[in-house]
Chain A
Amino acid sequence: MRARTKASIAIAGSIIAVVLLRLVGALAPVEELFRRALLPVAQIFSTIGSGAGSLLRPNPEEEQLREHVVELEARVTSLAVDYVRLRALEEENHSLQALTGYLSTSGYDHVPARVIARSNDPRSATVLIDRGSKDGIETGMAVIVGEGVFVGKVTSLKERVSTITLVADERSRIAASLSGQHRLLGLVEGRGNHVARLTLVPQAEGLEPDDVIVTSGTEEKIPANLIVGLVNAIEGKPTDPFKSAALEPVVQADTLNLVSVLRPTVLRPESP
């Protein structure tokens, strides 16, 4: 047998072996070792990439910015009213908690993380963060930025990294409710290309543009009242059983760099 044929067979064999070993997960410990060693380098590359990305991203036109400022001012006013109402509800909630005493009063435990890679496919809004199961992260946990803005949930885990499926991903489904109301309103579905829609909203529900949509708290590891987005255009005929609305994100997924994974210990039953 010629040396070249032997080499070709050896290469083809090693490719098949590696693919099969990956499929059965036998290479996972080796991959984890490499991932652990290279994580600082990935963090450096992603930080530089994030900075370069913000430099290369074009600024919107001045006129558009001015219109946006006017729109935002109107929203701030509307949110201020909501804020006052929420403060009242919060106080009421605290007194109820003190009465019933079945929930502890502490806030959410969180794990800060850095985005180290992201998907290139516009339909697939997923990012990779530099925290994994070793840091106490579990599948299904909520990921937030800033002051409680929900951006996605943990969908797959490794020891040192986890994949976050963002709200706009085509596979993303989040149970949602209106801010200030404590009942399930509909479902936030990702549509790709940074777009998400609020769907399956019963016709009887009052829904207005600029309403704040929050998590409903019906999912096990996602606490209630995390901001998901603002209602934009509402669609649906009065004869339809449900209506839907376009959601405007509060944060741009493109600019995500630092996030926090919530460990909602207060929602779990305490161990005896």
Chain B
Amino acid sequence: MSTRGWIIVVISAFVAAMLEASFLPFLPSPWREIRPVLQIAVIFVVLNSPRGALVYAGIAGLLLDIFRLDSGTFAFGRLIAVTLLMILLSDTVLTNRSVYATVALSLVARFADRIWLWIVHAIGTNIFRMDIRIEPLTSLFLSIAWDIGLISLVFVLLAVFTRRFMVTAPRSRRFYG
């Protein structure tokens, strides 16, 4: 990955984490249910940049651990684990780069993230006697709705402006016809 690419990774991690911790919680529902951190990790995976996705997840997770109040607990480990799962899925099962595959990947990421939270909640509450709270299911459903809408929009925008996901060569590069 180029230096420019790494700068984009670091800046997007920083902006997404600060938005999720210190900007979006101030908005009324349903706006506050937007969770950009995981979705941008999905975008990096879809753009075939697994190392970028992992570094992004690590930086964003650390920032969430520092500033987020509720489900930020152990966000570093959670985001890296979920990103690893997405990289594995995108290499083995969801190998095509379509909007459907991207939405499916984002849904798997959201559910994996939730399962991790449930596990941390169960272990933290029952073994370490910690007060760890997870958001109610209504928030999860709203977040999923936002995930589907936003990830589809970003995918289409990337396809239109970068021609990244085109399976045929552009007209100007065709040898025949």
Contact = CB atoms under 8 A, between A and B. Distances in A.
* Interaction A to B: yes
Nearest to A120: B25
A35 interface: yes
A118 B26 contact: yes
Closest 9 interchain pairs by CB? Answer: A49-B26, A49-B23, A45-B22, A53-B26, A15-B77, A119-B69, A45-B23, A42-B22, A46-B22
17 contacts: A11-B54, A11-B80, A38-B63, A38-B66, A41-B18, A52-B26, A53-B26, A53-B27, A117-B68, A119-B70, A120-B70, A121-B136, A123-B136, A124-B70, A128-B69, A163-B69, A254-B28
Interface of B: 18-19, 21-28, 31-33, 54, 62-63, 65-71, 74, 76-77, 80-81, 84, 128, 131, 133-136, 139
Contacts of B32: 120
A128 B76 CA distance: 20
Interface residues of A, number: 39
Interface stretch (A18-26, A216-224, A236-244): A18-26
A126 interface: yes
A57 interface: yes
A22 B73 CA distance: 10
Given A117-B22, A128-B69, A19 B27 contact: no
Contacts of B134: 121
A41 B63 CA distance: 12
Name which of A41, A117, A121, A128 has the most chain B CB atoms within 10 A of its CB: A117
Given A22-B74, A121-B139, A50 B66 contact: no
B81 to A, nearest CB: 6
Contacts of B22: 42, 45-46, 49, 116-117
Nearest to A52: B27
A56 B34 CA distance: 14
Contacts of A204: none
Given A15-B80, A121-B136, A49 B24 contact: yes
B70 A121 contact: yes
A233 B135 CA distance: 29
A23 B66 CA distance: 14
Interface string A133-172: 0000000000000000000000000000001000000010
